[in-house]
């Protein structure tokens, strides 16, 4: 899956003020990120507020991205749930024409055992007609997929990568050390991108690449060339603004940043609330400072 090396942008789903999908702004976002150097699109992950979209809306957004893909980049589609049967139903109902892989999150809330995690993803991988990227984000799901479990799943021929957002560098190192050669370790945390590149990761699925695709393109270039000092300098440019993206939940922060940039509105769907006045000011100040630094 060489097409998944580098930066995948976890696209936001722009909304109008009334909650309707803002396709005009989505087209603008696709151009901004593609021209900025991302390597592929991730459509309707958690950053895309997939939990609040109907099945028809999801299909419409996916088809729009495929039809308005400026550089014909690979497309990854998010399908996940805490109900294995529901994931399988979604897979059977999806038209995968033009889709290169599926991003599927660890079942949340239920807190399955590690054996339950293996059984869940085995069933999903067996049923899916395109390769699976597992998304491990225990801070959201309540369950960590251990390195040992991930290495078991990596042996499945249709499980090709993990988006690792555990924040546990030792766990990531164990995956990097023990994984099959063609299995991709991808960062799921923007500020862990360069550290994970340094231990063998091959890319990142990023929130901030919605706004700053060029920074991630340069990080990839330098890291894959082994120029980690230069890659780190790019990473350091995100230090101030990154925590603001999550201060009031994702994608509230990044949508407010994109609004500052004139790419889309800041609107979210409940239960996500708009950014507070205090957060809006902090994001505006951080963005202005980033522009002065070039």
Residues acting as catalytic residues: 135, 163
**Torsion sign (Cα): 224, 167, 250, 261:** negative
Tokens of 91: 């897979």
Q: Which of 213, 234, 212 is CA-nearest to residue 222?
A: 234
Q: Does residue 118 have a cis peptide bond before it, meaning omega lies within 30 degrees of 0?
A: no
User: What CA–CA distance (Å, rounded) separates 200 from 21?
Assistant: 38
């Amino acid at each position: 899956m060489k097409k998944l090396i580098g930066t995948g942008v976890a696209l936001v789903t722009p909304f109008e003020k009334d909650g309707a999908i803002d396709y005009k702004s989505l087209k603008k976002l696709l151009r901004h990120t593609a021209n900025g150097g991302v390597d592929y699109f991730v459509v309707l992950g958690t950053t895309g507020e997939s939990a609040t979209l109907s099945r028809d809306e999801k299909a419409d957004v996916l088809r729009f991205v495929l039809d308005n893909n400026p550089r014909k980049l690979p497309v990854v589609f998010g399908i996940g749930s805490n109900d294995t049967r529901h994931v399988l139903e979604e897979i059977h109902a999806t038209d995968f024409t033009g889709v290169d892989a599926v991003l599927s999150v660890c079942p949340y809330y239920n807190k399955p055992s590690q054996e339950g995690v293996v059984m869940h993803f085995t069933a999903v991988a067996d049923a899916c007609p395109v390769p699976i990227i597992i998304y491990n984000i225990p801070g959201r799901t309540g369950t960590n997929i251990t390195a040992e479990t991930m290495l078991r799943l990596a042996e499945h021929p249709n499980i090709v990568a993990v988006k690792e957002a555990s924040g546990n560098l030792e766990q990531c190192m164990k995956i990097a050390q023990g994984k099959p050669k063609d299995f991709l370790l991808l960062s799921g945390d923007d500020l862990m991108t360069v550290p994970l590149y340094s231990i063998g990761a091959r890319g990142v699925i990023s929130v901030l690449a919605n706004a700053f695709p060029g920074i991630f393109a340069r990080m990839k270039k330098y890291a894959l060339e082994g120029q980690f000092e230069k890659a780190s300098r790019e990473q350091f440019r995100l230090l101030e603004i990154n925590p603001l993206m999550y201060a009031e939940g994702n994608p509230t922060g990044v949508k407010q940043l994109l609004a500052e940039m004139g790419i889309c509105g800041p609107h979210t769907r409940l239960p996500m609330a708009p950014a507070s006045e205090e957060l809006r000011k902090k994001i505006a100040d951080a963005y202005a400072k980033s522009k002065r630094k070039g």
